[in-house]
Each structure stands twice: as structure tokens, then as C-alpha cells.
């Protein structure tokens, strides 16, 4: 089979941030299937990254068959807009891959720009049925292909007796509400004095300082560990010492970190925002709570500690097995034919 040539545009920062992003995973898998894949960009500076993306497209305009564009809801939305319109100028087939949990709100606020991007694309690909549904309501033809999880690389730990050891993996960023994790720990310690929390992720905005301040106020210094960014295999290993994964975000799509925790056997307690109800069936393979609700999240954790949901983690592992490359590569082949 004659594999096509692809230019993949996105934040290719794995080598510099240690974060194993979806662009790294998908581009590698496509290369292994025989596709020629050029990836851009790995520049740290946002301005230089955008410039590099534009240069890559112009330079390769006569060499590639498709342009994949990672599309987010914040400032990177404008990257997608500029690259997509440049692709239109050169009559290239471009495919936005929708990642931002707040993209539905972006569609409402920037209808004109959204129409220019998503109505003129070759295909729109959503890694969650949440975004697929939101985009189709706006008239954008969208195909569901989940974020790929190489399930064979995840060792499932069967935690038979849970302890109040909480694990959090996300960037320290306001929209992910990391201070909620601190508040939950504080409330949990009223009943479980030995409760502890590990927080893994890069320090992006003032949220990290807010966490430090709150920890000091609540005198939780001995109960919270910050690791900064860890390589995937390192945080997977670290997670073996913890029993419950909490996702505190105010906006979300289908976060890979939650999918990975499900694969590793960590029972999930998450806010019910965005795409989370599309990923997790409440009380079946995870627990969903109202965003920013300390009491509700704490109560959900206590219900796990009381063994009220003994099959949660096993069901979650079965679900994320459906996100393997073997189960989904045919969908990509159909698009990139």
C-alpha cells in the first residue's frame, strides 16, 4: 500500500518538556505504519514556533498530501487558524485534530474564524464524542478517533485495599484548578490523618504559587509532594505508591493522563466537566463530581476507601483497552488514503 506524506503541525515539545504529547505518539505510530511524517514545531517561544510552523508548511507544500493540525481552545487556536488558511492558499488537504476541552465555547465566541477553519477542512477529527457532538451541532462534519493509548505498555496494578493516597497529574494552570486538590486533601485529613497527595506536572502559571500558599496556610507541608514534570515511565512508576487518581479541572476534553491512570489501575475521581462524562460512566468505571466542589470530591474519595465501588478500576481498564492503536489505526487509514 502506498502510504501518503503528512505534515503534522502542533506543539512538538516532548524533547524539551518531558511531556509525551499526542503529537509524539501519533506521529511515531504513523511512521511505523509506513507514512512519511514531518513534524513542526519544537520551538519553545510561541512566536518562533508559529513562524516555524508557517515555514514548514510553505517549504513542504509540494511534498505532502495532508496537513494534520493539533487544535486547542486557547492561544493555540490561532495557530490552527493561521496554518489552516495557509493550507487553503496552497490547496492542501488539512485535518484539524480537536483537543481543547473549551473548544465548544470558542465556537460560540469566534463563529467567523471557526467557520473558516472547520467548514473548509478535509476532515475534522475529535478524540472524544463530546467534541464530535459539539462540532456537529454547529454543522461541522466530524469523525471520532480517540487519543491512542498503547495499552500493552501499561502495567495494571490491582489495588485490593485502597488507602488515602491521592495522585494528581496535570499542568499547574488555573483552568485545571490544582488548588482543589489541596482543599480536598485538607478535608480528607479530618477523617484520615495520614492522607497524602502527590502532584505531577509543569508549573505554568500562578497556580503553583497559589498551591504553595494554601499548603502553608493549612499546614500541609508534610503531606504534599510536588515532582514537577516527569517522564511518562517515571510517573507511571511513581503512581504505584498511590491509590486514587483525582482530576480537578474546570474544563476538559478527554485527558490522556486520566486514560493512562485508568490503564494503570488507579480508580478515578473527576469533575464532570466537558468530555469527562463521555469518557467515564459514573459509578461504573470512575466517579464524577461537580466542579470546584471540595465536599463532593472528598465524599467520593471516602466512598472508594469504604470499598463501595470494588470493580471501578477493573471496568476502567477494560474501557481504555478500546483506545489501542490496533483498534483505531483503520480509522486513520480511511482518512489518509
Residue 307 has pLDDT above 70, yes or no: yes
Q: pLDDT band for position 139 (50/70/90)?
A: very high
- Per-residue cell: 198: 502527590
Residue 26 has pLDDT above 60, yes or no: yes
| Annotated domain spans of the chain | 5-145, 151-321
Distances in Å between the Cα of 221 and the Cα atoms of 190, 196, 215, 216 are 16, 10, 6, 7
Fold match between domain 5-145 and domain 151-321: yes
* Topology (CATH) of 151-321: Rossmann fold (3.40.50)
| CA–CA distance, 168 with 204 (Å, rounded to integer) | 15
Quote the pLDDT of residue 112. 97
What number of CA atoms fall less than 13 Å from residue 179's CA on the CB side? 17
What are the contacts of 280-287 at 24+ separation with CB within 8 A? Answer: 280/316, 283/309, 283/312, 284/312, 284/315, 285/312, 285/315, 285/316, 285/318, 285/319, 286/262, 286/312, 286/316, 287/312
Q: Say what the pTM is.
A: 0.89
| CA–CA distance, 170 with 260 (Å, rounded to integer) | 12
Residue 324 has pLDDT above 90, yes or no: yes
pLDDT per position as a tens digit, 256-284: 999 999 999 999 999 999 999 999 999 99
| CA–CA distance, 136 with 158 (Å, rounded to integer) | 39
CB 236 within 8 Å of CB 260: yes
Quote the pLDDT of residue 333. 96
Mean pLDDT within 222-251 = 95
Quote the pLDDT of residue 74. 86
Question: Which class is domain 5-145?
Answer: alpha beta
Amino acid at each position: 500500500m502506498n502510504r501518503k506524506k503528512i505534515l503534522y503541525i502542533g506543539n512538538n515539545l516532548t524533547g524539551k518538556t518531558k511531556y509525551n504529547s499526542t503529537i509524539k505518539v501519533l506521529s511515531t505510530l504513523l511512521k511505523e505504519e509506513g507514512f512519511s511524517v514531518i513534524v513542526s514545531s519544537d520551538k519553545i517561544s510561541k512566536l518562533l514556533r508559529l513562524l516555524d510552523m508557517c515555514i514548514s508548511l510553505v517549504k513542504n507544500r509540494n511534498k505532502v498530501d495532508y496537513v494534520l493540525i493539533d487544535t486547542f481552545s486557547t492561544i493555540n487556536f490561532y495557530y490552527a487558524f493561521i496554518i489552516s488558511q495557509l493550507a487553503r492558499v496552497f490547496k492542501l488537504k488539512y485535518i484539524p485534530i480537536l483537543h481543547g476541552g473549551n473548544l465548544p465555547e470558542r465556537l460560540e465566541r469566534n463563529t467567523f474564524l471557526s467557520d473558516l477553519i472547520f467548514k473548509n477542512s478535509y476532515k475534522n477529527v475529535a478524540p472524544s464524542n463530546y467534541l464530535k457532538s459539539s462540532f456537529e451541532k454547529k454543522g461541522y462534519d466530524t469523525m471520532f478517533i480517540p487519543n491512542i493509548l498503547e495499552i500493552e505498555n501499561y502495567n495494571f496494578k490491582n489495588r485490593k485495599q485502597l488507602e488515602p493516597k491521592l495522585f494528581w497529574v496535570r499542568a499547574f494552570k488555573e483552568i485545571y484548578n490544582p488548588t482543589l486538590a489541596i482543599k480536598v486533601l485538607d478535608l480528607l485529613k479530618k477523617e484520615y490523618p495520614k492522607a497524602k497527595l502527590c502532584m505531577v506536572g509543569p508549573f505554568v502559571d500562578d497556580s503553583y504559587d497559589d498551591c504553595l500558599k494554601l499548603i502553608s496556610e493549612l499546614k500541609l507541608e508534610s503531606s504534599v509532594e510536588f515532582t514537577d514534570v516527569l517522564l511518562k515511565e517515571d510517573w507511571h512508576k511513581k503512581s504505584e505508591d498511590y491509590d486514587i487518581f483525582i482530576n480537578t479541572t474546570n474544563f476538559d476534553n478527554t485527558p490522556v493522563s486520566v486514560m493512562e491512570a485508568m490503564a494503570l489501575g488507579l480508580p478515578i475521581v473527576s469533575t464532570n466537566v466537558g468530555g469527562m462524562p463521555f469518557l467515564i460512566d459514573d459509578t461504573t468505571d470512575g466517579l464524577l463530581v461537580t466542579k470546584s466542589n471540595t465536599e463532593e470530591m472528598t465524599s467520593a474519595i471516602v466512598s472508594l476507601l469504604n470499598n463501595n465501588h470494588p470493580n471501578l478500576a477493573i471496568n476502567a481498564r477494560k474501557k481504555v483497552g478500546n483506545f489501542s492503536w490496533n483498534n483505531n489505526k483503520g480509522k486513520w487509514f480511511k482518512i489518509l488514503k
